[in-house]
Copies of this chain bind each other. A is one copy, B any other.
């Protein structure tokens, strides 16, 4: 059985102290996972710090569970290379959540909604709050040390002028090949596809247009599959 992971944003780099966690994470550890004094847990701050900690006590303070932990060991985990930012249309309903969870698992660093000609959907605040919970749960489940960042809407034109390797996914492109870039922006088209104007602008800007399969994928499948292929291809010789 894997050690239980607890998200603790305030985790510092120095071991040896006692920290107290509360809220949903403490409730889950005590009431669902049944952790008690003496048990070991893994703390992560979502920004590269991972700690092994031993539970020293748990108590209910008013309506809230609190868990005290002795931080035994702290390690700093470097972000994955390349730093991959996926920019794409937000699919509807649960498909956005599935996409973000998938991107987290394959090691993307960030996701941002992209405003393109065939889509301008920007996730509402309630949806973003749900995504924030999903990236925490996914980080704990898949063993990431860094939270997947969800960023603000990016306009298509601005996406083309980002100062890093830009890859636009489209059936008209070439199979993806390793670029060696330290940072990659991966642009995923909406269900309706890119407009001719967008494709021309991308090619004009010298963007790498790549395809990631022979069939038409739903946008959330395309995002996760293309992100995985980029991460795996870049890792090969890395």
Contact = CB atoms under 8 A, between A and B. Distances in A.
Given A175-B235, A236-B175, A106 B224 contact: no
Contacts of A104: 215
A150 interface: no
A194 interface: no
Size bracket of the A interface? 20 to 34
Interface string A67-99: 000000000000010000000000000000010
Interface in A101-133: 101-102, 104-107
A26 B8 CA distance: 56
Contacts of A224: 221, 224-225
A218 interface: yes
A141 B215 CA distance: 9
A79 to B, nearest CB: 11
Interface of A: 80, 98, 101-102, 104-107, 141-144, 175-176, 212-218, 221, 224-225, 228-229, 231-232, 235-236
